[in-house]
Amino acid sequence: MDVRHRLEELNLKLPAIPPLGGIYKPVKQVGNMLYVSGQGATVNGIPVITGKLGATRTIEEGQEAARICTMNCLSVLQAFLGNLDRIKSVVKILGFVASADDFHYQPKVIDGASRLLEQIFGEDGKGARSAIGVNELPGDISVEIEFLFEV
């Protein structure tokens, strides 16, 4: 698969690599698995979609936040791998959604990431998934996602 070509077809451009937010590795490889640290809805490290879903943010805004997290992930992977074509499949994504007390649509929010991965990688873009509502996320971001890929 030519991921770069697929991104162009989808009119997507990888963003700048997000700066580190602490002491950790953006990607840790163990065998043929790549563990990608949590990626937020940021551009150049600046939160762009903030607030809680169901209070100040809509499901659609949350889905856009999830897409931004995914693009940040791909940017980090491009820097680590040198070529996104080395990715064999998405194994799992773990999405955290800053949620109002009565918001119960976390899976719909994380569908923004899942849909984008499927558009880019086809059937191999579908992995296991969890979507969890949380009280707060760093920088008041609305969504943060961890990723696990097979190479």
Domains and CATH numbers, the chain: 3-150 (3.30.1330.40)
Average pLDDT over residues 39-68: 97
Find tokens 């697929």 and name the residue. Answer: 6
pTM of structure: 0.97
Q: How confident is the model at residue 92 (pLDDT cuts 50, 70, 90)?
A: very high
Average pLDDT over residues 102-111: 98
- Mean pLDDT over the full length of the chain: 97
Which residues have CB under 8 Å from 151's CB, separation 6+?
29, 32, 33, 34, 81, 86, 87, 88
Three-class SS string for the chain? Answer: CCHHHHHHHCCCCCCCCCCCCCCCCCEEEECCEEEEEEEECEECCEECCECCECCCECHHHHHHHHHHHHHHHHHHHHHHHCCHHHCCEEEEEEEEEEECCCCCCHHHHHHHHHHHHHHHHHHHHCCEEEEEEECCCHHHECEEEEEEEEC
Q: Which two tokens stand for residue 68?
A: 């931004």
CA angle 96, 5, 33 (to 5 degrees): 45
Q: What percent of the chain has pLDDT over 90?
A: 98
Q: Are 35 and 76 in contact (CB under 8 A)?
A: no
- Statement: residue 71 has pLDDT above 80: yes
